[in-house]
Structure 1
Amino acid sequence: MIIVSDRIGNVTRTRYEQLVTEARDLINQMAKAQFALGDKALEIEPMRPVGGWMPNGTDDLFTVEESLQMFADDIGVARSTVEDWRWTASRWPEAKRKDGVSFTVHKIPASIQDENERWAAIEDAPFNSRTGKRQWTPDTAKRLVGQRVDRPVTAPARP
């Protein structure tokens, strides 16, 4: 027997649904901001081929790390955060970014080497049995690429 509560945490189910809708809008705004910041970091320091050197006709005044550290310091975040934004933005051209999917979820399958496979994967959100909708979560993205999930699912017992 499944008991459906009219409350989730300290709020009614209706209020919970309102909060989820508002939060999804904020997450979408946050993803757009993180991609925009990654794009700015890419403009400052484009991704370089293995070896790191890019011919540009001038001697570099700063290393990639120094440039990104300066940018990070000037905007008040850790360099590793800027590097994450930059790398993820480099793997997802603007036209391939999926609206309504968090930056966190985009970051996980960014490791898929084949870009067509990566771009096709984000379009095929898995079914969420709890919500009854097709949607990405960090765990479903991690399963896609074979990473350890935060909430493992126990396989059903065999008869």
Structure 2
Amino acid sequence: MLQELGSGQPPATGQAGNAKVIDGDTLDVAGSRVRLFGIDAPEAAQSCRRGGRNWACGAEAEEALVSVIAGRQVRCEEQDRDRYERSIAICWAGAENLNAWMVENGWAVAYRQYGGRTYDPEEVVARVAQRGVWSSEFVMPWDWRKGER
């Protein structure tokens, strides 16, 4: 049985192994590409604007995910597959839900089109505290990919 989405506990079963961060919402776990369920991080080349200056928010989101994983094994529970046949999953490093952590720390936004309201509470925390991208002006990652820059 699937864990409740967004729950703080890691899955009992699922994909596990060493993880390589591809970008702020994509991992390679034990040789398989995994997209983090219900979140969307700025693209690696995306910049945001804070205090009149551009900053590399996409690169910082990627660095934040590397930092929270900190070399630990990652466990993922697949929720779906995307059109590219990547696993769409909730992933944990230890007891840390990586999807929720990225949103709560402002390095990703809730991707409601695919994840519903799963990470809305974490996004509210990030917005109010002006963490990560919420400390700046930014284009939503899905709009940035469509060319709005």
Q: TM-score range by the shorter chain?
A: under 0.3
Q: Return the TM-score normalized by structure 1.
A: 0.24
Task: State which structure, 1 or 2, has the greater radius of gyration over its C-alpha atoms.
Answer: 1
Structure having greater relative contact order (Cα 8 Å, sep ≥ 6): 2
Q: Which has the higher strand share?
A: 2
